[in-house]
Amino acid sequence: MTDFPVVESVPALRARLKDFRNKGEKIALVPTMGALHDGHLSLVQEARRHAERVVVTIFVNPAQFGPSEDFAKYPRTLPSDLEKLASVQADLCFAPTMEAVYPPGFSTRVEVDGPARADLEDRFRPTHFCGVATVVAKLLNQAQADVAVFGEKDYQQLLVIQRLARDLDIATEILGAPTLREADGLAMSSRNVYLSKAERAAAPALYAALNEAARLIGAGEAIEATLARASAALGEAGFLPDYIEARHAKTLARIAGRRDGPIRLLAAARLGATRLIDNLAVTHEA
Ligand code: AMP
């Protein structure tokens, strides 16, 4: 057991944060759903570059799961999460109770448009970003940190949260951080534990397909034909692709050609019962 500090209520969180602020220390927030892996820990390290104190939130938010999704079986590993947070010298874990986030009578939701309606994740998870935006708005208000760090792994989510903070005048600066990958390219994810041995062996095909498509599009190949081949490659590897698309990296608007960029490739695909997402920038070759 670790004695890493955890608070479970908003008043307790604010009391700790007040101590930090009274010492003139900047605060960074790293919101997560726990089941921490090295990708999450890389966000803590990025956060540390911007603030003296790093607060990691752990809350499995029911509002962002669809009715047929994995809320009930989502991995919950608080003791080992706290050990990991101690190992990277985070300062505090905020693991609010369900009541602290959704008190009796809770009646407010944050409706998001723009990047949240880009016809990517939202096509397959129509209530997801409202759930994310509502909980993230709450966490940002609860902590009022100087910065908050989110992963590019969930690229559409990052843009939704940046838009949310701008639109609601939330003073916390929203920073993105790169995706940490396993040695074979698979993006680290708490959901990777669901993969069978055979699925885990096939899973790097998602990154491989994105990587190859990004290389070809960067070298001038036609976008639609390249993505169609990438989708076929995913199918051959055993995935059922939901989408693999090229979008404007800042707005997620559809693009007709390379000159409309900067381009981000975004994909989601199912491997057995597990749904994986990933994305990659297209960098232009000379
Ligand atoms: P989650 O716990 O999956 O909701 O993720 C919490 C935060 O960690 C989000 O900002 C994610 O984008 C980020 N994240 C998840 N996986 C990775 C990864 N492999 N590399 C970097 N950040 C990640």
Res. 143: pLDDT tops 70: yes
Instruction: Please state, in angstroms and rounded to a whole number, the distance separating the CA atoms of residues 191 and 268.
Output: 13
- Average pLDDT, integer, range 103-131: 98
Q: Is 175 in the pocket of ligand 1 (CB under 6 A)?
A: no
pLDDT in tens, 166-201: 999 999 999 999 999 999 999 999 999 999 999 999
Identity of residue 3: D
- Average pLDDT, integer, range 90-119: 98
Instruction: Please state, in angstroms and rounded to a whole number, the distance separating the CA atoms of residues 189 and 211.
Output: 18
CA of 190 to the centre of ligand 1 (A): 8
| Residues 97, 6 contacting (CB under 8 angstroms) | no
Nearest-CA residue for ligand 1 atom 6 is 32
196 annotated binding-site participant:
no
189 annotated binding-site participant:
yes
Res. 137: pLDDT tops 80: yes
Q: Is 53 in the pocket of ligand 1 (CB under 6 A)?
A: no
Q: Give the chain's domains with CATH numbers.
A: 6-177 (3.40.50.620), 190-281 (3.30.1300.10)
Tell me, what's the pLDDT at 1?
63
Q: Is 17 in the pocket of ligand 1 (CB under 6 A)?
A: no
CA of 259 to the centre of ligand 1 (A): 30
Nearest-CA residue for ligand 1 atom 13 is 151
Q: Give 259's pLDDT tier (boundaries 50, 70, 90).
A: confident
Tell me, what's the pLDDT at 282?
96
Q: Is 151 in the pocket of ligand 1 (CB under 6 A)?
A: yes
Question: 64, 121, 154, 274: which to mutate for ligand 1, most atoms within 8 A of CB?
Answer: 154
Q: Give 285's pLDDT tier (boundaries 50, 70, 90).
A: low
Burial class of residue 53, CB neighbours in 10 A (0-12, 13-18, 19+): buried
Tell me, what's the pLDDT at 104?
97
Q: Is 64 in the pocket of ligand 1 (CB under 6 A)?
A: no
pLDDT in tens, 3-48: 999 999 999 999 999 999 999 999 999 999 999 999 999 999 999 9
191 annotated binding-site participant:
yes
Residue 280, SS3 per DSSP? strand
Give the residues across from 92 on adjacent strands: 55
CA of 233 to the centre of ligand 1 (A): 26
Question: 43, 160, 274, 278: which to mutate for ligand 1, most atoms within 8 A of CB?
Answer: 43
SS3 sequence of 181-250: ECCCCCECCHHHHHCCHHHHHHCCHHHHHHHHHHHHHHCCCCHHHHHHHHHHHHHHCCCEEEEEEEEECC
CA of 224 to the centre of ligand 1 (A): 29
HSE-up (13 A, CA, CB side) for residue 78 = 15
Q: Give 258's pLDDT tier (boundaries 50, 70, 90).
A: confident
